[in-house]
């Protein structure tokens, strides 16, 4: 009982620290780029979104939702590694994964929501809960490996990021810090795999993570194409470099989805490439809607069906027992 109380207070303290740190970093970035943000013409942003067209808008929404579905690969590979995939149908794994990932994107501080919900949903199918906890931990940690690889590509100049960090050296330090994660992650997990049945699981998860992050970057790029195709041409790598740095800064704030920090940095970075603030703002809003909001609503509906099914099962079982 005492241990549970300590864990509860510890989790509350962690959440408070995350909120505090995230708020401080966001305030610092907002203060630094305040002039650029205030100059936004919100009416023009609204007009750009409305003029996009229903077909293009629907395609982007579908692509964003598909991007969230890619994250299900983490669960498939990890559950296979602990031989738990035999206890669940493919559809069931996909449903649990999509639900936890989409909710975690908006609600989860540091992945705690996703980890907790995953454990709760997979526990009835598990014969070894310790293995399940390790597996879920692998998923949460490995999600950073892809952005770490991309940060290495930015440092090496394959994805130029000077447009954003040249005038703010702290962003470059964030970049360096994130680049160290992948080699450390691979060294530890290849030297002493946490799940011994698949010693190369960490590499597989790192590849999935890379595709997750690069897909999100390409989605932003695609949205920009719909507004200014000619202007985007030949700037693709620089745009992705800016998105990578903004994503890292967003992760460091520990605010779900890097909301605020990511958006401001992408806005400022792309404006330095010559994009209008309004086009970038419209692109970010559509990206947020397609990759975060719509999947979140779908995930929430899936969660409601799970709650309803569990309640119905418990209610009728209790009723039958009384009769």
Task: Give the pLDDT of residue 153.
Answer: 96
Single out the residue of 252, 180, 219, 285 nearest to residue 29, CA to CA: 252
Residue 213 lies in a domain: yes
Residue 24 lies in a domain: no
Task: Give the pLDDT of residue 311.
Answer: 79
Residue 19 lies in a domain: no
189-225, pLDDT tens digit by residue? 999 888 888 889 999 999 999 999 999 999 999 999 9
Rounded to whole angstroms, the Cα distance separating 106 from 293 reads 8
Single out the residue of 33, 60, 38 nearest to residue 227, CA to CA: 60
66-86, pLDDT tens digit by residue? 998 899 999 999 999 988 878
Single out the residue of 113, 121, 116 nearest to residue 92, CA to CA: 121
112-122, pLDDT tens digit by residue? 777 888 888 89
- As a whole number, mean pLDDT of residues 146-170 equals 90
Those residues whose C-beta lies under 8 Å from the C-beta of residue 268, and which sit 6 or more positions away, are: 33, 36, 164
**C-alpha pair distances (Å), 101 with each of 21, 37, 297, 302:** 23, 30, 12, 12
> In this structure, what token pair is assigned to residue 64?
């964003």
| Count of structural domains, the chain | 1
262-297, pLDDT tens digit by residue? 888 999 899 889 888 899 999 999 999 999 999 999
Task: Give the pLDDT of residue 321.
Answer: 47
- The answer, yes or no, to whether residue 24 has pLDDT greater than 80, is no
Residue 10 lies in a domain: no
Residue 158 lies in a domain: yes
Residue 298 lies in a domain: yes
Residue 118 lies in a domain: yes
Expressed as residue numbers, the domain containing 168 is 31-304
Q: Could you give the 3-state DSSP secondary structure of residue 41? A: coil
Dihedral, 143, 149, 154, 158 alpha carbons, nearest 10:
-130
- As a whole number, mean pLDDT of residues 90-114 equals 84
Residue 142 lies in a domain: yes
Is 258:243 a contact under the CB 8 Å cutoff? no
Rounded to whole angstroms, the Cα distance separating 172 from 168 reads 7
């Amino acid at each position: 009982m005492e241990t549970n109380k300590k864990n509860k207070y510890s989790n509350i303290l962690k959440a408070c620290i995350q909120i505090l740190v995230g708020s401080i970093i966001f305030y610092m970035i907002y203060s630094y780029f305040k002039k650029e943000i205030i100059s936004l013409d919100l009416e023009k942003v609204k007009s750009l979104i409305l003029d996009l067209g229903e077909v293009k808008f629907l395609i982007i929404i579908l692509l964003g939702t598909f991007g969230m579905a890619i994250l299900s690969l983490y669960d498939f590979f990890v559950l296979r590694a602990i031989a738990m995939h035999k206890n669940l149908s493919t559809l069931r794994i996909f449903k649990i994964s999509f639900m936890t990932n989409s909710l975690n994107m908006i609600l989860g501080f540091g992945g705690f929501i996703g980890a907790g919900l995953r454990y709760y949903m997979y526990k009835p199918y598990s014969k070894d809960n310790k293995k399940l906890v390790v597996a879920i931990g692998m998923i949460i940690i490995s999600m950073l490996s892809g952005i770490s690889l991309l940060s290495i590509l930015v440092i090496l100049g394959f994805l130029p990021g000077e447009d954003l960090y040249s005038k703010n050296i702290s962003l470059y330090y964030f970049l360096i810090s994130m680049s160290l994660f992948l080699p450390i992650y691979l060294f530890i997990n290849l030297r002493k795999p946490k799940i011994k049945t698949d010693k190369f699981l960490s590499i597989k998860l790192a590849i999935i993570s890379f595709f997750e992050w690069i897909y999100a970057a390409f989605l932003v790029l695609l949205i920009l194409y719909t507004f200014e195709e000619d202007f985007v041409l030949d700037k693709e790598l620089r745009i992705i470099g800016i998105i990578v740095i903004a994503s890292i800064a967003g992760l460091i704030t520990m605010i779900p989805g890097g909301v605020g920090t990511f958006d401001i940095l992408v806005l400022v970075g792309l404006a330095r490439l010559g994009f209008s603030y309004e086009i970038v703002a419209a692109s970010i809003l559509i990206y947020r809607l397609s990759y975060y909001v719509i999947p979140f609503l779908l995930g929430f509906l899936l969660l409601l069906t799970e709650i309803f099914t569990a309640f119905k099962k418990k209610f009728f079982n209790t009723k039958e027992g009384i009769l």
